[in-house]
Amino acid sequence: MPMITPFLWFDTGAEEAARFYVSVFKNARILSASPMMVAFEIDGQKVLALNGGPHFKLSEAFSFQIDCQDQAEVDYFWEALLGGGGQPSQCGWLKDRFGLSWQVVPAVLPKLLGDPDRARANRAQQAMLKMVKLDIAELEKAAAG
Protein backbone atom coordinates (compact mmCIF):
# COMPACT_ATOMS: atom_id res chain seq x y z
CA MET A 1 0.00 0.00 0.00
CA PRO A 2 1.41 3.43 -0.86
CA MET A 3 2.34 5.82 1.90
CA ILE A 4 0.90 9.35 1.81
CA THR A 5 3.31 11.96 3.14
CA PRO A 6 2.46 15.63 3.71
CA PHE A 7 4.92 17.86 1.85
CA LEU A 8 5.36 21.43 3.10
CA TRP A 9 6.89 24.21 0.99
CA PHE A 10 8.80 26.92 2.84
CA ASP A 11 10.66 29.86 1.34
CA THR A 12 13.57 29.14 3.69
CA GLY A 13 13.71 27.75 7.20
CA ALA A 14 12.33 24.25 6.59
CA GLU A 15 14.78 22.74 9.06
CA GLU A 16 14.08 25.44 11.67
CA ALA A 17 10.35 24.72 11.32
CA ALA A 18 10.88 20.96 11.56
CA ARG A 19 13.03 21.35 14.68
CA PHE A 20 10.32 23.55 16.22
CA TYR A 21 7.60 20.95 15.52
CA VAL A 22 9.78 18.16 16.90
CA SER A 23 10.24 20.21 20.10
CA VAL A 24 6.46 20.66 20.52
CA PHE A 25 5.44 17.01 20.16
CA LYS A 26 6.77 14.34 22.54
CA ASN A 27 6.83 11.51 20.01
CA ALA A 28 8.64 13.31 17.20
CA ARG A 29 12.06 13.26 15.56
CA ILE A 30 14.11 14.52 12.63
CA LEU A 31 14.68 11.68 10.17
CA SER A 32 17.09 13.44 7.80
CA ALA A 33 18.12 16.95 6.81
CA SER A 34 19.91 18.57 3.90
CA PRO A 35 20.16 22.21 2.81
CA MET A 36 17.15 21.67 0.53
CA MET A 37 14.87 19.30 2.43
CA VAL A 38 14.17 17.88 5.87
CA ALA A 39 12.19 14.77 6.76
CA PHE A 40 10.64 14.53 10.19
CA GLU A 41 8.07 12.42 11.98
CA ILE A 42 5.33 13.32 14.46
CA ASP A 43 3.57 10.40 16.17
CA GLY A 44 4.46 8.09 13.30
CA GLN A 45 3.37 10.54 10.55
CA LYS A 46 6.25 11.33 8.22
CA VAL A 47 6.37 14.91 6.90
CA LEU A 48 8.71 16.43 4.31
CA ALA A 49 9.64 20.11 4.35
CA LEU A 50 11.31 21.86 1.41
CA ASN A 51 13.27 25.10 1.19
CA GLY A 52 11.64 25.89 -2.15
CA GLY A 53 11.91 29.66 -2.35
CA PRO A 54 9.23 32.36 -2.39
CA HIS A 55 7.11 30.93 -5.22
CA PHE A 56 4.42 29.35 -3.02
CA LYS A 57 3.10 30.19 0.43
CA LEU A 58 1.45 28.01 3.06
CA SER A 59 -2.22 28.84 3.59
CA GLU A 60 -5.23 27.78 5.62
CA ALA A 61 -6.16 25.53 2.69
CA PHE A 62 -3.89 22.98 4.39
CA SER A 63 -3.71 22.40 8.13
CA PHE A 64 -2.79 19.76 10.65
CA GLN A 65 -5.46 18.84 13.18
CA ILE A 66 -4.46 17.84 16.70
CA ASP A 67 -7.07 15.76 18.53
CA CYS A 68 -6.63 16.70 22.19
CA GLN A 69 -7.93 14.49 25.00
CA ASP A 70 -8.52 17.28 27.53
CA GLN A 71 -8.22 21.02 28.14
CA ALA A 72 -4.64 20.66 29.36
CA GLU A 73 -3.63 19.28 25.94
CA VAL A 74 -5.58 22.01 24.14
CA ASP A 75 -3.83 24.65 26.25
CA TYR A 76 -0.39 23.08 25.80
CA PHE A 77 -0.53 22.81 22.00
CA TRP A 78 -2.21 26.19 21.62
CA GLU A 79 0.50 28.00 23.58
CA ALA A 80 3.39 25.97 22.16
CA LEU A 81 2.40 26.46 18.51
CA LEU A 82 1.75 30.18 18.97
CA GLY A 83 5.20 30.58 20.53
CA GLY A 84 7.63 32.91 18.83
CA GLY A 85 5.12 34.82 16.76
CA GLY A 86 2.21 32.63 15.76
CA GLN A 87 -1.24 34.10 15.17
CA PRO A 88 -4.50 32.82 16.69
CA SER A 89 -7.51 32.65 14.41
CA GLN A 90 -10.93 31.32 15.42
CA CYS A 91 -12.71 28.07 16.21
CA GLY A 92 -9.50 26.43 17.44
CA TRP A 93 -7.37 27.39 14.42
CA LEU A 94 -4.01 29.10 14.58
CA LYS A 95 -1.09 29.81 12.30
CA ASP A 96 2.38 29.15 13.71
CA ARG A 97 5.32 31.49 13.17
CA PHE A 98 6.26 29.63 9.99
CA GLY A 99 2.82 30.12 8.44
CA LEU A 100 1.53 26.56 8.90
CA SER A 101 -2.09 26.29 10.05
CA TRP A 102 -3.12 24.01 12.90
CA GLN A 103 -6.48 23.01 14.33
CA VAL A 104 -6.25 22.38 18.07
CA VAL A 105 -9.43 20.39 18.70
CA PRO A 106 -10.71 18.67 21.84
CA ALA A 107 -11.80 15.09 21.16
CA VAL A 108 -15.23 15.88 22.62
CA LEU A 109 -16.02 18.47 19.91
CA PRO A 110 -17.19 16.04 17.19
CA LYS A 111 -19.42 14.34 19.78
CA LEU A 112 -20.96 17.66 20.78
CA LEU A 113 -21.46 18.81 17.19
CA GLY A 114 -22.84 15.41 16.19
CA ASP A 115 -25.25 15.11 19.11
CA PRO A 116 -28.55 13.58 17.90
CA ASP A 117 -30.31 16.30 19.90
CA ARG A 118 -29.89 19.00 17.25
CA ALA A 119 -30.64 21.81 19.72
CA ARG A 120 -27.69 20.68 21.89
CA ALA A 121 -25.46 20.38 18.82
CA ASN A 122 -26.48 23.83 17.57
CA ARG A 123 -25.78 25.44 20.95
CA ALA A 124 -22.31 23.85 21.00
CA GLN A 125 -21.67 25.02 17.44
CA GLN A 126 -22.75 28.59 18.21
CA ALA A 127 -20.43 28.64 21.22
CA MET A 128 -17.54 27.27 19.14
CA LEU A 129 -18.03 29.93 16.47
CA LYS A 130 -17.45 32.65 19.10
CA MET A 131 -14.23 31.12 20.42
CA VAL A 132 -10.62 31.58 19.44
CA LYS A 133 -9.03 28.81 21.53
CA LEU A 134 -11.59 26.09 22.23
CA ASP A 135 -12.76 25.74 25.83
CA ILE A 136 -14.20 22.30 26.62
CA ALA A 137 -16.11 23.42 29.73
CA GLU A 138 -17.75 26.28 27.85
CA LEU A 139 -18.65 24.04 24.90
CA GLU A 140 -20.24 21.48 27.23
CA LYS A 141 -22.04 24.23 29.16
CA ALA A 142 -23.44 25.69 25.93
CA ALA A 143 -24.57 22.26 24.74
CA ALA A 144 -26.37 21.67 28.04
CA GLY A 145 -28.21 24.96 27.66
- The predicted-structure confidence for 89-123, as pLDDT tens digits, reads as follows 999 999 999 999 999 999 999 999 999 999 999 99
Looking at residue 83, what is its pLDDT? Answer: 96
Question: Which option is the CATH number for 1-55: 3.40.50.620, 3.10.180.10, 1.10.10.10, 3.40.50.300?
Answer: 3.10.180.10
* Strand (E) or helix (H) holding 144: helix 136-144
The Cα 124–Cα 12 span in angstroms is: 40
Fold matches, 1-55 and 58-145: yes
The Cα 120–Cα 126 span in angstroms is: 10
The residue ranges of every structural domain in the chain are: 1-55, 58-145
> Is 79 a residue whose pLDDT tops 90?
yes
- Average pLDDT score over residue span 70-77: 98
Looking at residue 1, what is its pLDDT? Answer: 83
Question: Which option is the CATH number for 58-145: 3.40.50.10440, 3.10.180.10, 1.20.120.80, 3.10.20.340?
Answer: 3.10.180.10
> Is 50 a residue whose pLDDT tops 90?
yes
Starting from the edge strand earliest in sequence, which strands make up the sheet with 28-33, in order?
A: 7-10, 45-51, 37-42, 28-33
